[in-house]
Amino acid sequence: MSAEAPLIRARGLVKRFGALTAVDGVDFDVAKGEAFGFLGPNGAGKSSTMRMIGCVSPRSGGELTVLGLDPERDGPRIRSRLGVVPQQDTLDTELTVRENVVIYGRYFGLSRRDLQERARRLLEFVQLDERANDRVEPLSGGMKRRLTIARALVNDPDLLLLDEPTTGLDPQARHALWDRLFRLKQQGVTLVLTTHYMDEAEQLCDRLVIMDRGRIAEEGSPAELIRRLSTREVVELRFAEETPAVDAAVFNGLVARVEVLPDRILLYTDDGDALVPGAHERLHPQSVLVRRSTLEDVFLRLTGRTLVD
């Protein structure tokens, strides 16, 4: 972590909704220029954490500073320097693409003249310049998300918060969006995002925390987490009928760990190809796939559950 004060600092941060504790004492720092992710299944407390950082939802306990300020006291001042891409779109679909950016910019007190230029530049950045005068309604989900990102950048934010930015988008639209976010990262914009897609976390995050049931289970870079908490490769076995029981010991030390899931068996190993003949011989699977470990495997190891059901 850099010597500079972190942009976000949380210690023992708690969020309760009545009897439910959504965020149960989390600690984390986000440094300037970093792309930081919260990875976890639905209900892990990611969005609640984001809403506290965004100064929309008051914290129930613990410490939180954003841009060196207290969200409780300085909400408007902090929010004036944030860009927020919420989980659900908040666009007015009856207004045009440009109007949505301009109106949003007015909330920040920017002048109309200034906003004409900003809207032009931002819509070009998210490749919506040709749709500037069209109503938002008929745009695709991916376009609406890109518009939301353009809008979130209207105040040149110090910190961009993205809550599940690509949920519900088709693969092409997701890649288009990742590309834009990657460019922002290169320009030095600090990104904080939540996701339940491990590929998204691996693509975008310099550093991430894995959240489960309101707590932080692990923290590190994607590569580091995989190295530390999984093996290099995974052999996935699928079966025509019932999945058999397996003991790691039968593979003579080649297999570090076995996960038996309802639809498949995962064998964690450092050399997948070496394992394939033995696996065929002993278990008679219908299909065998050798792949590299992902954050999904890390998550499975930490929680015993898959990330996306």
CA 8, 197, 267: angle at the middle one, nearest 5? 120
Q: What secondary structure does DSSP assign to 222-234, as a single string?
A: HHHHHHHHS-SEE
How far apart (Å, rounded) are the C-alpha atoms in residues 32 and 162? 16
What minimum distance in Å lies between the beta carbon of 55 and another protein? 9
Q: Within 10 A of 295 (CB to CB), how many other CB atoms are there?
A: 27
Q: Single out the residue of 44, 301, 83 nearest to residue 192, CA to CA.
A: 83
Nearest approach, Cβ of 44 to another protein (angstroms)? Answer: 17
Q: Which is nearer to another protein, 49 or 155 (CB)?
A: 155
Which residue lies nearer to another protein by CB, 161 or 234? 161
Residue number with CB closer to another protein (74 or 199): 74
β-partners of residue 26 are 13
Q: CB of 125: closest distance to another protein in angstroms? A: 20
Which residue ranges make up the site for another protein (CB under 8 A)? 17, 54, 56-58, 75-77, 79-80, 82, 84, 86, 88-95, 99, 103-104, 106-109, 155
Cβ density class 203-212: b for 16+ within 10 Å, e for less: bbbebbbbbb
Q: Could you tell me the two tokens for 126?
A: 């998210």
Q: Which is nearer to another protein, 106 or 175 (CB)?
A: 106
For the bound state, the minimum distance from the C-beta of residue 240 to another protein, rounded and expressed in Å, comes to: 48
- Name the residue nearer to another protein (CB basis): 74 or 206: 74
* Token digits of residue 164: 């599940």
By beta-carbon proximity to another protein, the closer residue of 122 and 275 is 122
| CA atoms of 294 and 298, how far apart (whole Å) | 7
Minimum distance from residue 78 beta carbon to another protein (Å): 9
Q: Which CB sits closer to another protein, 109 or 188?
A: 109
Rounded to a whole number of angstroms, the minimum distance from the CB of residue 58 to another protein is: 7
Cα–Cα dist 98/138, whole Å: 14
Closest contact distance (angstroms) between CB of 18 and another protein is 10
Nearest to 142 by CA among 124, 118, 165: 165
